[in-house]
Structure 1
Amino acid sequence: MSLRPVLGALTGAVLVLAAPLASAPAANAVVSAPGGTEAVTVDPTGTLASDGTVTLSGTYRCSGNTGPAYVSSSVAQGDSTVRHGIGGSTAVCDGAEHAWRNTGRVGADALEHGTAQVEATVMELRPSGGLPLPHFHAARRQDVTLTAV
């Protein structure tokens, strides 16, 4: 059995459980660690295929991790309160800038081409008393344009 699906499921569960605990940043807001050494960016355009596959990308910088780290992303459109998780990728927190790219399928009619709100988060699972707890390195909420593939 591959470890990747298990880690992905664990990361998703932690993000779902932790989401209500943290207040979401405002539109086009950046949240990062003190000192500004950690950050995540979102490219101004993403793609939306006719089958509902969304691809988002950007860059991140983080450091000092003691557990596995990930870049997660989600997208919403219009006044909808529904956010669609768009994949997740592993992160390397070595202080250097790295590119991230997440792809996920939301359903053929869930989104349309045009403006959408994307949230990207760099999160680490830090061991704490034998239980991995989320530690957020950086987050960004930004408007993007979803274009056809």
Structure 2
Amino acid sequence: MPPRPCRKVTVDPTGSIAPDGTVTLSGTYRCLGNSRPAYVSSSVSQGDPSVRHGIGRTWAVCDGVEHSWTNSGKPSHAVTPCAARVEATVTELSTGSALPLPRFHAVQQQDITLTAS
């Protein structure tokens, strides 16, 4: 059996759109790190792949254990219940300099289905 990856992020195959337009996405993540702040961010696109809408972020615990994440947000333009492309990223904020710098642990792009909730 191959070893489990220490850093990964997954996206669930289905997301939801509430009547007010709020999109909810979810999945799992695993990362290793120090005690620095980290989070899982996500975005969704439909149609034009160069146009992505940020859908929130969730604080992450980088302890090597698999955790669930759920992000919700209202896109700047309406999305519809149908196929969509989601990108999820686990990012750690490195505080070794005057400005916090992002350190990317894992990125996943996946096609999903958005459903009306």
Please, what TM-score do these two structures have when normalized by structure 2? 0.91
**Residue in structure 2 matched with residue 116 of structure 1 by the alignment:** 84
Q: 2:108 aligns with which of 125, 131, 140?
A: 140
Q: 2:31 aligns with which of 62, 65, 69?
A: 62
For 2:46 and 2:75, the matched residues in 1 are separated by: 12
The AA in structure 2 aligned to 1:140 is Q
CA contact (8 A) 1:38 1:61 kept: yes
Q: Are residues 1:102 and 2:71 paired?
A: yes
The AA in structure 2 aligned to 1:59 is T
For 1:99 and 1:36, the matched residues in 2 are separated by: 16
Q: CA deviation at 1:132?
A: 1.0
Q: CA deviation at 1:106?
A: 1.8
Please, what TM-score do these two structures have when normalized by structure 1? 0.72
The AA in structure 2 aligned to 1:91 is A
**Residue in structure 2 matched with residue 130 of structure 1 by the alignment:** 98
The AA in structure 1 aligned to 2:96 is S
Root-mean-square deviation (CA), in Å? 1.5
Q: Are residues 1:37 and 2:6 paired?
A: yes
CA contact (8 A) 1:66 1:126 kept: no
For 1:66 and 1:114, the matched residues in 2 are separated by: 39
For 1:78 and 1:43, the matched residues in 2 are separated by: 20
1:18-33 alignment, distance < 5 Å: none
For 2:19 and 2:31, the matched residues in 1 are separated by: 34
The AA in structure 1 aligned to 2:45 is A
CA contact (8 A) 1:121 1:138 kept: yes
For 1:129 and 1:137, the matched residues in 2 are separated by: 19
Q: CA deviation at 1:81?
A: 2.4
For 1:45 and 1:53, the matched residues in 2 are separated by: 14
Q: 1:87 aligns with which of 47, 56, 77?
A: 56
Q: Percent identical across equivalent pairs?
A: 62
For 2:20 and 2:52, the matched residues in 1 are separated by: 18
Q: Are residues 1:78 and 2:47 paired?
A: yes
